[in-house]
Structure 1
Amino acid sequence: MMLKPVWIYLENGVFLEAKSFGFEGSKTGEIVFNTSLSGYQEIMSDPSYAGQFIVFTMPEIGIVGTNDNDMESSTIYASGMFVRSLNETPSNFRSQKSLPEFLKQHKSMGICDIDTRYLTKMIRDSGPKMMIASTEVSDPEKLKAMLASSPRIEEVNYIEKVSTPKSYVHDHGVWNAETQSYNATPKRLGKKILAVDLGIKHNILNELYEVGLDVEVVPHNFSGDDAIARYKKGEIHGVFLSNGPGDPLILKSEAAEVKKLIDAKVPMFAICLGHQLLSIAHGYPTYKLKFGQHGGNHPVKNTKSNIVEITTQNHNYNVPDSICKIAKITHVNLFDNTIEGLEYNDAPIFSVQHHPEASSGPQESRYIFQEFANRL
């Protein structure tokens, strides 16, 4: 496979040349790094990465190829990926497409033959940067001008792009490696929830169904009043707020609807962006971390059990410490002591910042889905 050159310009003035193996053209986005050792397909198809270029610290990427069953959404919303070395030929019986074919199909850029350690250290030291990558334009001044005229990631409402346009029912559990299929009929509890799609991952829905909950997925612009009416009638037993991309402070209308649910004391559970949205709806705005948390090996302490769980993380924003005035901290990130989980004092609401669905990643926090089911 002949790899074409690609030119990269970052907002701090860094200009680089590498090789392209995915979509050809020009794309802008925010560059972040991910420390996971596996699961690149699940990471790339996670809607939470919309508008971002992901630098993989794992040096060899592509060996297991890609397949339809490991998708976390219907497409790739990430702008692209950086890898040190590309494995063009997959070696896995489940593979249906190579990584280059996969990226081209979903119009996402692939960049290789570049020093990913250098990029990771730069992001670690000075934070994520807006950047542009192009297989068409090589002049750094032109790239600088193109980047300057593009919107920044915090200025774009990516939720409108990644959320489902209409409601639907999710009706299967997690992937079963022995049967090579999804669990179709886990034990049912007779409890139904609404899952608000802010960029939801497929495996979150799988886990919710797996613990016995009936799951109806609704768009980001759902009606809080309608959800409250259905809860009072006994049609639903709670609401789940999903993960998703972008700056949570831009979601003013969504926060207003969530506030209605809070006031009505509707039971809620939230992950990642949903966790942040709950904080905002309670009157505690989020803030941006220096370089975010992205990876599958982050230690989090459960303050109830004092057990340290190894978790999957994917967020650039965090809830403020001042939220302790209205909520108890249930989980703490041991890398930077930021809040990873909350239980609100005056309502049946709790949330976590990390990803207990573990796709990809460790499964030590998977119990949280059962905890949600037990509370309804």
Structure 2
Amino acid sequence: MMLKPVWIYLENGVFLEAKSFGFEGSKTGEIVFNTSMSGYQEIMSDPSYAGQFIVFTMPEIGIVGCNDNDMESKAVHASGMFVRSLNEMPSNFRSTEDLPTFLKKNQSMGICDIDTRYLTKMIRDGGPKMMIASTEVSDVATLKSMLEASPRIEDVNYIEKVSTPKSYLHVEGVWNAEAQTYNKTPHRIGKKILAVDLGIKRNILNELCEAGLDVEVIAHDFSAEDVIARYKKGEIQGLFLSNGPGDPLILKNEAAQVRQLIEAKVPMFGICLGHQLLSIAHGYPTYKLKFGQHGGNHPVKNTKNNVVEITTQNHNYNVPDTICKIARITHVNLFDNTIEGLEYNDAPIFSVQHHPEASSGPQESRYIFKEFANRL
């Protein structure tokens, strides 16, 4: 495969040249790094990465190929990926296509033959940066002008792009490695929830079903009045707020709807963006971390039992420490002591910042899904 040159310009003035694979053209986005050792397809198809370029610190990427079963959503919303060394020829019995083909089909850029350690350290020291990558334009001044004319990630409501347009029932459970398929008949416990799609991952839905819940997925622009009416009629027992991309402070309408659910005492559980949205709806705005948490090896302490869980993280924003005025901290990130979990006082609401289903990644926090089911 002949790799074409690609030119990269970052808002801090750094200009780089590398090789491209996948989508050809020009794309802008925010550059972040991910320290996971595996699961690049699951990471790329996680809607939480919409509008971002992901620098993979694992140097060899592509060897396991790609397949439909490992998709976390219907498409790739990430702008692109940086890898040190691309493996073009997959070696995995489950692979149905190579990584360049997968990216081209999903209109996402691939950039290789570049020093990913340099990029990671730059982001670590200076924070995430807006950038542009192009296989068509090599002039620095032109790239700079194109980047400056593009919207910043915090100005775009990516939820409107990644959320489902209409509601649907999700019935699959977790992956059965022996049968090489997802569990089609998970045990049911007679409790139904609504799952708000803010950029929801497939395996989060699978875990909710595996916990015994009937799951109806609804769009981001849901009506709180309709949800409250269904809850009072006994049609549903609770609501789940999913992960998702972008700056949570831009979600004014969603926060207003969640605020009504809080007032109506509807039981809720939130993950990642859902965790942040609950904080905002309670009157505690989120803030942006220096370089975010992206990886599958983050230690989190469960303050209830003092057990350390290794978790998967994917977020640039966090809830403020002042929220302890109205909630109890249940989980703490041991890398930076930021809040990873909350239980709200006098309300049937709890949330976590990390991804308990950990696809890809460790599964030490999967118990949280059954905990939600048992609380309803």
Which bracket does the TM-score occupy, shorter chain normalised?
Answer: over 0.9
- Give the counterpart letter for 1:39 in structure 2: G
- Give the counterpart letter for 1:69 in structure 2: N
Q: Does 2:203 correspond to 1:199?
A: no
Q: Give the 3-state SS of the residue equivalent to 1:363 in structure 2.
A: coil
Shift of 1:346: 1.4
Shift of 1:93: 0.3
User: What's the counterpart of residue 124 of structure 1?
Assistant: 124
Q: How many Å separate the matches in 1 of 2:49 and 2:357?
A: 16
User: What's the counterpart of residue 102 of structure 2?
Assistant: 102
Q: TM-score, normalised by structure 1?
A: 1.00
Shift of 1:285: 0.2
Q: How many Å separate the matches in 2 of 1:233 and 1:160?
A: 29
User: What's the counterpart of residue 278 of structure 1?
Assistant: 278
- Give the counterpart letter for 1:43 in structure 2: I
Q: How many Å separate the matches in 2 of 1:81 and 1:232?
A: 46
Structure 1 residues 183-240: Cα deviation after superposition (integer angstroms, max 9, x where no partner): 1112110000000000000000000000100000000000111000000000000000
Q: How many Å separate the matches in 2 of 1:193 and 1:375?
A: 12
User: What's the counterpart of residue 209 of structure 2?
Assistant: 209
Q: Does 2:149 correspond to 1:149?
A: yes
Number of equivalences:
376
Q: How many Å separate the matches in 1 of 2:309 and 2:86?
A: 31
Q: How many Å separate the matches in 1 of 2:131 and 2:5?
A: 17
User: What's the counterpart of residue 31 of structure 1?
Assistant: 31
Q: How many Å separate the matches in 1 of 2:6 and 2:22?
A: 10
Shift of 1:339: 0.1
Shift of 1:109: 0.0
Residues 117-266 of structure 1 mapped to structure 2, 5 A cutoff: 117-266=117-266
Residues 345-364 of structure 1 mapped to structure 2, 5 A cutoff: 345-364=345-364
Unmatched 5+ residue regions in structure 1? none
Q: How many Å separate the matches in 1 of 2:270 and 2:20?
A: 37
Q: How many Å separate the matches in 2 of 1:22 and 1:185?
A: 37
User: What's the counterpart of residue 61 of structure 1?
Assistant: 61
Q: How many Å separate the matches in 2 of 1:53 and 1:129?
A: 10
- Give the counterpart letter for 1:26 in structure 2: S
- Give the counterpart letter for 2:250 in structure 1: I
Structure 1 residues 133-187: Cα deviation after superposition (integer angstroms, max 9, x where no partner): 0000000110000000000000000000000000000011011000001111121
Structure 1 residues 4-46: Cα deviation after superposition (integer angstroms, max 9, x where no partner): 0000000000000000011000000000000000000000000
Shift of 1:335: 0.3
Unmatched 5+ residue regions in structure 2? none
Q: How many Å separate the matches in 2 of 1:141 and 1:204?
A: 43
Q: How many Å separate the matches in 2 of 1:271 and 1:105?
A: 29
Q: Give the 3-state SS of the residue equivalent to 2:58 in structure 1.
A: coil
Q: Give the 3-state SS of the residue equivalent to 1:365 in structure 2.
A: coil
Q: Give the 3-state SS of the residue equivalent to 2:22 in structure 1.
A: coil
Q: How many Å separate the matches in 2 of 1:71 and 1:306?
A: 34
- Give the counterpart letter for 1:312 in structure 2: T
- Give the counterpart letter for 1:46 in structure 2: D
Q: How many Å separate the matches in 2 of 1:182 and 1:73?
A: 15
Q: Give the 3-state SS of the residue equivalent to 1:21 in structure 2.
A: strand
CA RMSD of aligned residues (A): 0.3
Q: TM-score, normalised by structure 2?
A: 1.00
Q: How many Å separate the matches in 1 of 2:315 and 2:227?
A: 27
Q: How many Å separate the matches in 2 of 1:343 and 1:367?
A: 16
Q: How many Å separate the matches in 1 of 2:125 and 2:208?
A: 38
Q: Give the 3-state SS of the residue equivalent to 1:166 in structure 2.
A: coil
